[in-house]
Amino acid sequence: MAGEHMRYGLLGPVRAHRDGTDLDLGPRQRRALLARLLLADARPVPVRELCDALWRGDPPTGAASSVRAHVSRLRSVLDPNQPGRTSGLLVSEPTGYRLTFAPSELDVHRFESGVARARSALTRGDLAGAHAATDGALDLWRGSPLADLDDYAFARDEAARLVSLRQDAAELRALLLLRTGQVEEALDAAERLVADAPLREASWALRVRALYRAGRAAEALQCLERFRRTLDEELGLEPSPAMKELHTAVLRHSEDLLGPEQPSAAADAAPAAPVRLSGSVPLPGAAGRPAAPGPVPELSATGPTDAPRTAGAEPTGYRLTFAPSELDVHRFESGVARARSALPRGDLAGAHAATDGA
């Protein structure tokens, strides 16, 4: 509809609003349907997949009919002036349904885009721009992601991915505080990070650096020892070579720990966000079997279960990190989604321009 502006939110309880007004999405199962369609990124979702998602892998006989009823009600809420099945925001496809929306209309995409801009700014040495982009991305969060759907498997998987990305972004903000000389603020941020994720090496490393910069070298060494014990007790792992090098640097009072990192080192220290994939890219393991499909792991490389138990073990797979806007496939899909969104609103020029651009 002309002049209307949609926004969808998954960084908290599922929500949708039009022109700033929250929409009543109805019962939880209908909100779960909206969330599953949003996670498809404007691609069709087969009815059978929707049934499996909404009934947790055990759909009843009439599940498909219930999905159709939910779609009809959701369509009337999201797009009340466009009730048709083949046009508007919620479109019927031969095998399922597709929710059309631009990436900027979903808070998850805005968050990921903001973090990507922050990393790009940091690489260029634009600390103020990196800080502003990171803060803007983190400000989008309204609580635990998909908080009202925590008993749905697909929602739990996505929530775990998003929580990990939020920790990445919070680590990036702590790094920026450290680089701009805000040592006490960086230390406070690093302590919160360690409390939130006590097994994340990057968070501990930031805390060690902040303690050292604050003139508390003895506490930095104690922090490293606490991390080593925690890693051993919880996972049976040893610290990675990078953490061992950090330990040596603290012992030797390395000048590198006092001055600002070089831009390249800072970029390396900034955690990289994983792209959403259906599974990891496997490498042959010790037994010759591929890695099991599942959520992208928090670490960029992990050792097989039967490998030596060290944090630096040979990886089972690798992850290429990039922003959606850096891949032509995503830019094409985003352009087509914008065109489909513009057409029902009567914005023919916008639809034409978006289609041509795609």
Helix (H, G, I), strand (E, B) or coil at 176: helix
What Cα–Cα distance (Å) separates residue 134 from each residue in 106, 118, 175? 17, 6, 11
Give pLDDT < 70 ranges for the chain.
1-4, 82-87, 259-326, 329-331, 333-354, 358
Q: Tens of pLDDT along 104-154?
A: 999 999 999 999 999 999 999 999 999 999 999 999 999 999 999 999 999
Q: Where in the chain is the domain with CATH 1.10.10.10?
A: 6-102
Length of the chain in residues, anyone? Answer: 358
Residue with tokens 């065109």: 339
Give me the pLDDT at residue 296, please: 42
Give me the pLDDT at residue 167, please: 96
DSSP 8-state secondary structure symbol assigned to residue 344: T
66: exposed, middle or buried (C-beta count within 10 Å: 0-12, 13-18, 19+)?
Answer: middle
C-alpha 52/C-alpha 101 separation (Å) is 23
Give me the pLDDT at residue 86, please: 58
Strand partners, 317: 282
Outline where DSSP puts E strands in the chain.
6-9, 15-18, 21-22, 45-46, 90-92, 96-99, 281-282, 317-318
Outline where DSSP puts E strands in 240-282.
281-282
Nearest 5°: phi and psi at 90?
-105, 105
| 8 A C-beta contact, residue 280 and residue 317 | yes
| 8 A C-beta contact, residue 25 and residue 154 | no
What angle, rounded to 10 degrees, do the helices at 63-78 and 28-39 form?
A: 80
CATH topology of domain 6-102: Arc Repressor Mutant, subunit A (1.10.10)
Chain-centre distance for alpha carbon 356: 30
Quick one: which of 230, 239, 238, 318 has its CA closest to 282? 318
What Cα–Cα distance (Å) separates residue 258 from each residue in 62, 181, 227? 65, 10, 21
Handedness of CA 287, 288, 294, 296 (dihedral sign): positive
Residue with tokens 């502006």: 5
| 8 A C-beta contact, residue 39 and residue 29 | no
CATH number, domain 107-269, options 1.20.140.10, 2.60.40.10, 1.20.58.100, 1.25.40.10? 1.25.40.10
Mean pLDDT of the chain: 81
Q: Tens of pLDDT along 56-111?
A: 999 999 999 999 999 999 999 998 876 666 568 999 999 899 999 999 999 999 99
State what percent of residues in the chain have pLDDT above 90. Answer: 66
Give me the pLDDT at residue 227, please: 97
Give me the pLDDT at residue 81, please: 77
C-alpha 203/C-alpha 271 separation (Å) is 10
Strand partners, 17: 7, 22
C-alpha 130/C-alpha 117 separation (Å) is 7
Q: Where in the chain is the domain with CATH 1.25.40.10?
A: 107-269
Name the token pair of 39: 């996670």
List all residues 6 or more positions away from 139 whose beta carbon is below 8 Å from its beta carbon.
none
C-alpha 119/C-alpha 73 separation (Å) is 41
Q: Tell me the CA end-to-end span of the chain in Å, nearest whole number.
A: 22
pTM passes above 0.85: no
